[in-house]
Amino acid sequence: MLPWKSIIQIQKQSDLPVYLQIANSIIKEIKQGVIKPGSRMPGTRVLAEATGVHRKTIVNAYDELLAQDWLTSVPSKGTFVNQHLPEMHPVKLSAEKVFDKKETTGFKVKMNHNIHDSSRTWRHIMGFHDGPDVRLVPVEQISKAYRSVFNRKSSIKNFTYVNTEGHQVLRKVLSEYLNDTRGLQTTMENIFITRGSQMGFYLLSKILIEPGDHVIVAETSYKYIDLTFENLGGKLIRIPVDDNGIDVDQIEKICQRKKIRAVYVTPHHHYPTTVTLTAARRMKLLSLAEKYGFIIIEDDYDYDFHYQSAPILPLASADRKGLVIYIGTLSKTLAPSLRIGYIVAPKNLMVELSRMRQIIDVQGDPFLEQAVAELFIEGEIRRHMKKVLKEYHKRRDYMCSLLKDKLNDVMEFKVPDGGLAIWAKFDNKIPLPEMALRLRNNEELIISPGLIFNTSRKKLNSTRLGFGWMNIREIEKSVKLLNEAIRKKYW
């Protein structure tokens, strides 16, 4: 008989259950040839006495080994080591040298040079990143919400396929929140949950945009929305943006000459320039939509981040004809990695969204969606927003005061009413892309080169300078580094 007490190593301090420790010890000895294939294993009672553990623990260990095919049970005879052990190493299909897949494919791949490398890989370098500060994420509250969801007996249902349009509870509480904060008149039947707003735009565009359709966007717009429309065959018509937002009079002139399928706008804080579309222009845009029958796609990516008086309500709050599709996100409110976006639209569009989603994604994350619903129900979302809004307001004011003090002669900007960044126009003597690339490659400072905001017709020397990502000390250091970089080389 083998010395089972020395073969089976049990670590009382280990987090691994004892039965799995026993199973792993036996597997190790089988792999090393100490326990031979075909050999009979001791009975559970005998092994329990030899190792000093409860017999039920040995039964569980054997069950695990039987499930993994290391052991086999023969009725009336006992338990044996399997003659045909589980494959311990993958078997090669061929002895010939295989193609190295690390570098290039064996076929042509269409390269999309319109999409620039993401700056997200440079987040470890301090600078003017555009987005929220993850250090302000309410980790404890999110963890508590997840635990609450997982501890419910009903949570087992979340491991199967669920509603394509999103979890019912989240849609209900989100509908109530949007009605209360944005003046929308919705029910849960008008809410479709996505993995971030970008997915929402893609689904909508696949449904609504046909090749050749004319789509109006701002002269400087959100690059990835432009690419979405263009990749689906949409023809972009660019409209200027001034201090009052997108030029609605120009939209009217275009509508008089061409059939417009959709108008994409970010009226609350235009991306990237941060200007707010005035109430008068909003009402005219709605009137034009009714007159010419085009769709308004309203991207309200940062409605909750507003620092002045009460913000103007979204276009969707005044929509009388079902022509406005409202898209928002909770990823900036909570954390970028928590991908929760939503679409607010009439019910018939919900059906088509569900059908289209099943082609690419099937469903969202029911655990995440329920956890976020829990945060709404417990009032954590509102408490968190109240806290971070105060902090971001302070950061905006501090960075704007520093920029005015240190860089007023080399850039122009207006203090934004909201959002997490300012729109900075640099003097043409300063080659913004060159400077940004040099600072990044030297890992000194991150500043967007602004290329993503350029179009074929308009080349800017402007960019967004994010203040939300940094605390007060980091803002001070970043402005100092930017000032030094400009003064030493370009000014």
Domain-wise residue ranges, the chain = 4-81, 119-132+383-489, 136-381
CA distance 234 to 264: 12
In whole angstroms, how far apart are CA 410 and each of 274, 427, 462, 482, 486?
Answer: 20, 5, 12, 11, 9
CA distance 198 to 205: 11
Task: Evaluate the omega torsion of the peptide bond into residue 272 and state whether it is cis, within 30 degrees of 0.
Answer: yes
CA distance 346 to 323: 9
pLDDT value of residue 90: 62
Sign of CA dihedral 290, 292, 295, 299: negative
- Topology agreement, domain 4-81 and domain 136-381: no
pLDDT value of residue 237: 97
pLDDT value of residue 328: 94
CA distance 270 to 413: 14
Contact 345, 202 (CB under 8 A): no
Q: Hey, what CATH topology would domain 136-381 get?
A: Aspartate Aminotransferase; domain 2 (3.40.640)
> Residue 60 is encoded by which pair of tokens?
């569980």
Residues 6+ apart with CB under 8 A from 284: 248, 252
In DSSP terms, which residues pair with 421 in a beta bridge?
466
Pairing state between β 421-426 and 411-412 = antiparallel
Contact 353, 204 (CB under 8 A): yes
Return the CATH number of 4-81, one of 1.10.10.10, 3.30.930.10, 3.30.1130.10, 2.60.120.10: 1.10.10.10
CATH code of the domain occupying 119-132+383-489: 3.90.1150.10
Contact 370, 167 (CB under 8 A): yes
CA distance 57 to 59: 5
In whole angstroms, how far apart are CA 236 and each of 93, 233, 315, 451?
Answer: 50, 9, 22, 19
CA distance 195 to 273: 26
- Tokens 């026993």 correspond to 22
- What is the four-CA torsion angle of 475, 480, 481, 482, rounded to 10 degrees? 90
Contact 369, 165 (CB under 8 A): no
pLDDT value of residue 295: 97
Nearest Cα neighbor of 260 from 277, 246, 243, 239 is 239
CA distance 361 to 200: 12
- Tokens 């064996």 correspond to 106
Query: What's at 201, amino acid-wise?
Result: F
CB neighbour class for 209 (10 Å; exposed up to 12, middle 13-18, buried from 19): buried
pLDDT tens for the chain, 491 residues long, are 678 878 888 888 888 889 998 899 888 888 888 888 999 999 999 888 888 899 999 999 999 999 998 999 898 888 999 988 886 666 666 666 665 656 777 788 887 776 665 555 666 788 899 889 999 999 999 999 989 888 887 777 777 777 889 999 999 999 999 999 999 999 999 999 999 899 999 999 999 999 999 999 999 999 989 999 999 999 999 999 999 999 999 999 999 999 999 999 999 999 999 999 999 999 999 999 999 999 999 999 889 899 987 889 999 999 999 999 999 999 888 888 889 999 999 999 999 999 999 998 888 888 899 999 999 999 999 999 999 999 999 999 999 999 999 999 999 999 999 999 999 999 999 999 999 999 988 888 999 998 888 887 888 999 999 999 999 999 999 999 999 999 988 87
CA distance 316 to 342: 14
